[in-house]
Amino acid sequence: MRVPFIKMHGLGNDFVVLDARAQELPDLGQALVRNLADRFTGIGCDQLILLQPSETADFRMRIYNHDGGEVGACGNATRAVALLHGSEARIETAGGALLASPTDDGASVDMGPPHFDWDAIPLAYPMDTLSMPVGWEMLENPGAVNVGNPHVVLFVDDTDAVPLDRIGPEIENDPLFPERVNVNVATIVSPSHIRLRVWERGAGLTRACGTGACATAVIAMRRRLVDREVTVTLPGGDLQIGWSEGENIRMTGPASESFRGSFEWDDYA
């Protein structure tokens, strides 16, 4: 079976999008996702995105990490598929329903509410998630939040000085996080500006992470380090994040289509 795909990205965080709204597809196994995501022998991407019909929303978006695991949220992919859809869309995800509106160069997304309870992140045992009494080497006193997926956020003086390729996997797989975790290191540049690098669960270092930007912004806001509207600068570019206590998170930023192609299903299954 020949299957069409669309290669897209949000700030360099890249996706292979399979649109199963029109053409039904067999179940994606972990092996198929890994093979397609492989940058040497496959199409290559950080996440594989599967669009399906939905009974509760305009469509359903399923998200698979580079390692083949299915997860609850992807901020950059949400902007990308909103752009693809072309008009305001309610999107069903495993992490909750999202509302996305395309803009000239990307999309603005209602990302839903953040969850701060220790068992909602989830953590292995109870603790204050705004100021956690734990640390790894030079990284201490993180905050944690679930924004459809789990994140830990560590504030540092200089994000570039953190060996995230070495320490990221250690934190991602720490038994404190039973579902593993996305690891964010952030520097407060000013009350309206955060600099951020992310080690993504199941994908490693990426050029940008939309949910990481949301998670970092809300923790910085709760700690009163920044204003309620901030620019988050990632290696791939800028996102605008807005949030107030008790409200949903709003994320705005670019996304684009790179190219279209097709592949033979059995070659990757």
Ligand X SMILES: N[C@@H](CCC[C@H](N)C(=O)O)C(=O)O
Q: Which residues bind ligand X (CB under 6 A)?
A: 13, 46-47, 65, 71, 74-76, 149, 182, 200-203, 206, 209-211
Give the shortest CB-207-to-ligand X separation in angstroms: 9
- Is 214 among the catalytic positions? no
Q: Catalytic one among 74, 83, 215, 218?
A: 74
On whether 173 is known to bind a ligand per the annotation, the reply is no
Tokens of 196: 């951020």
Distance, in Å, from the CA atom of 259 to the CA atom of 160, rounded to the nearest integer, reads 32
Give the shortest CB-35-to-ligand X separation in angstroms: 19
Nearer to ligand X, 162 or 251 (CB): 251
On whether 200 is known to bind a ligand per the annotation, the reply is yes
Nearer to ligand X, 74 or 99 (CB): 74
Q: Which residues are CB-neighbours of 45 under 8 A, at least 6 positions away? A: 7, 14, 15, 16, 36, 37, 66
Give the shortest CB-179-to-ligand X separation in angstroms: 9
Nearer to ligand X, 23 or 256 (CB): 256
On whether 65 is known to bind a ligand per the annotation, the reply is yes
Give the shortest CB-31-to-ligand X separation in angstroms: 18
Q: Catalytic one among 63, 99, 183, 209?
A: 209
- Is 45 among the catalytic positions? no
Nearer to ligand X, 76 or 216 (CB): 76
On whether 10 is known to bind a ligand per the annotation, the reply is no
On whether 12 is known to bind a ligand per the annotation, the reply is no
Report the catalytic residues. Answer: 74, 209
Residues of the binding site for substrate = 13, 47, 65, 75-76, 149, 182, 200-201, 210-211
Residues of the binding site = 13, 47, 65, 75-76, 149, 182, 200-201, 210-211
